[in-house]
A = this chain, B = another copy of it.
């Protein structure tokens, strides 16, 4: 681990007395921890919520604020879309796979309308207007976004409807979501201990190896917590822990990270140390450092000038393909018309790194083999004359021949402006991890035998959640709040 403190659990018999006692102890005050706290308190439990930083919010508060919701929400209906839980489920199984968690995706889809209402009832704002173009975060305050549901192949797998519900905000909505949830937490009687870092779980070997508490650090003091009903781990992923990333997700090494800097995976590892199983630790969201509005109006090519995906999918899927298949040696190619068509505030300050009158000049300037771009764009244009993209099936709306002058953006140079998809440095992408603890739909953490570890629960990016390998924006705040709530209910029931 390379951490200063052991993760080995402490035997309850060794604890003389506890500094704090509660019914439900929650570790990590992001969206999953806040949601768990609200439900546990609602169920009548005493709740203590720990946070390492000096205030709540975590990586959730720094995110774009998208929540993947559907089945016919008021926002969808106001924007003129019909939707069903079945289509939502089909889309998610296709987009988050292979082998996404069938039980979680099914439940999440069927209960999405109710979860939307729970969020709205707590004051989370969603403006009923559609941003109708691929983006990381709309430059407007529009509340509904496509997440590639209308792009190939997903549009053939499930009836398309936009399900990206974006918390109303000027810019990133994560801070608004966490402000609303924090206000609710404050009103709920939950006790919040900040500046408190989880160190080791406490296990009662005389009571079926039940998890009964936690050893933590508060500044320089070691403090102990007893949890009468359960401990819920909502500490996020491990993208900030370079050692764990190298060991489990080597393809993510050396890239930028989307987090509050504290996603060190310790919550996952202290649970493993009491026998917890993990899943999909190699998977990651890849926020490619490119403007979706540019990619979709032009094309994305590899270092040999070849397209590899339809550019109207969720940009994170472009990012995964660019990283895992092309080592992020990829370029955005566009023409002047495409660049001019993109609203200025949707360009995030990105300007082309190379411009040229001809493709021959452009490919020469950026060091591609002679003919590389000429053949790709020639073939693209030939079909684009008819609005078609037989190679990758980009929607005809975005297909037209590219004409001189041409421009190229080097994705590895990054973007100066931030986005929740990941744009700050790191050689072309910012990432976070998707894998984590193996949990039931009620948040019980499973051990290596597949049995629930008594007294231990988890939610959010500390778990493997809905996902296997794929990722769609909105499914972290989405499954964090949804399964966080369920973990809160389950822990309160003891």
A52 in the interface (beta carbon within 8 A)? no
Q: Confirm or deny: A8 has a beta carbon within 8 angstroms of a beta carbon on chain B.
A: yes
Residue-wise interface mask of A (435-450) relative to B, using a CB-CB cutoff of 8 A (1 in contact, 0 not): 0001000000001111
**Nearest residue, chain B, Cβ from A438:** B247
| Distance between Cα atoms of A371 and B246 in the complex (Å) | 41
Min CB–CB distance A149 → chain B (angstroms): 22
B99 touches A269 (CB 8 A): no
Interface size class of A (residues with CB under 8 A): 35 or more
- Decide if A7 is an interface residue (CB 8 Å cutoff): yes
Q: Bound complex: CA of A438 vs CA of B244, how far in Å?
A: 12
* CB atoms of A280 and B250 under 8 A apart: yes
Which residue in chain B gives the minimum CB-CB distance to A276? B272
A273 at the interface (CB under 8 A from B): yes
**Residues from 258 to 302 in A contacting B, C-beta threshold 8 Å:** 269, 272-273, 275, 277, 279-283
CB distance from A44 to the nearest CB of B (A): 33
Contact B448 A247 (CB under 8 A): no
> Of residues 423 to 455 in A, which have CB atoms within 8 Å of B's CB atoms?
438, 447-450
Q: Does A469 contact B (CB under 8 A)?
A: yes
- Give A95 Cβ to nearest chain B Cβ, in Å: 14
User: A304 to B248, Cβ gap below 8 A?
Assistant: no
Contacting residue for A253 out of B99, B246, B275, CB 8 A: B99
CB neighbours of A17 from chain B (8 A): none
Whether A1 contacts B253 by the Cβ 8 Å rule is no
Q: How many copies of this chain sit in the oligomeric assembly?
A: 2
A450 to B304 alpha-carbon distance, docked (Å): 42
Q: List the B residue with the shortest CB-CB distance to A249.
A: B282
Are A449 and B250 also in contact (CB < 8 A) when A304-B391, A369-B391, A379-B371 are? no
Q: How far is B304's CA from A375's CA once the two chains are assembled, in angstroms?
A: 13
Pick from B99, B253, B273: contact of A448, CB under 8 Å: B273
Select A390's contact among B97, B246, B247, B369, beta carbons within 8 Å: B369
- Asked if A16 is an interface residue, CB under 8 A from chain B, the answer is no
Q: How far apart are A399's CB and chain B's nearest CB, in angstroms? A: 15
B residues in contact with A8, CB < 8 Å: 275, 447-449
Could you say which of B1, B272, B279, B283 contacts A450, with CB atoms under 8 Å apart? B1
- Bound-complex Cα distance A247 to B391 (A): 32
A8-B451 Cα distance, complex, nearest whole Å: 11
A169 within 8 A of B: no
Bound CA–CA A450/B6 (angstroms): 9
0 or 1 for each of A312-350: is its CB under 8 Å from B? (1 = yes): 000000000000111000000000000000000000000
Q: Once the chains bind, are B253 and A98 in contact (CB under 8 Å)?
A: yes
Contact residues in B for A253 (Cβ distance below 8 Å): 98-99
With a cutoff of 8 Å between Cβ atoms, the chain B residues found around residue A249 in the complex are 282
Q: Within 8 Å of chain B (Cβ to Cβ): is A404?
A: no
- Check B250–A450 contact: CB distance below 8 A: no
Once A98-B253, A275-B273, A391-B369 are accepted as A-B contacts, the answer to whether A248 and B281 lie under 8 Å apart by CB is yes
A264 to chain B, nearest CB (A): 13
Q: Which residue of B lies closest to A303 (CB)?
A: B391
A282 partner, pick from B98, B275, B282, beta carbons under 8 A: B282
Residues of chain B within 8 A (CB-CB) of A364 are none
Cβ contact within 8 Å between A248 and B448: no
Q: A282's closest neighbor in chain B, by CB? A: B282
- Docked pose: A304 CA to B379 CA in angstroms: 12
Is the pair B280, A247 in contact by a Cβ cutoff of 8 Å? yes
Q: Decide yes or no whether A110 CB sits under 8 A from chain B.
A: no
Closest beta carbon of chain B to A324's beta carbon, Å:
7
Asked if residues A250 and B448 are in contact (CB atoms below 8 Å), the reply is no
User: CB within 8 Å of B: which of A1-54?
Assistant: 1-2, 6-8
A interface with B by C-beta (< 8 Å): 1-2, 6-8, 97-99, 246-251, 253, 269, 272-273, 275, 277, 279-283, 304, 306, 324-326, 369, 371, 375, 379, 390-391, 438, 447-450, 468-469
Pick 19 A–B contacts, CB within 8 A, sort by A. Answer: A1-B448, A1-B449, A7-B449, A8-B275, A97-B250, A98-B251, A98-B253, A99-B250, A246-B468, A247-B277, A248-B280, A250-B469, A269-B448, A272-B272, A273-B447, A281-B281, A304-B391, A324-B325, A369-B390
Given A7-B449, A306-B306, A371-B379, 7 other A-B residues pairs in contact with their CB atoms under 8 A:
A246-B468, A250-B280, A250-B469, A272-B448, A273-B449, A282-B282, A369-B391
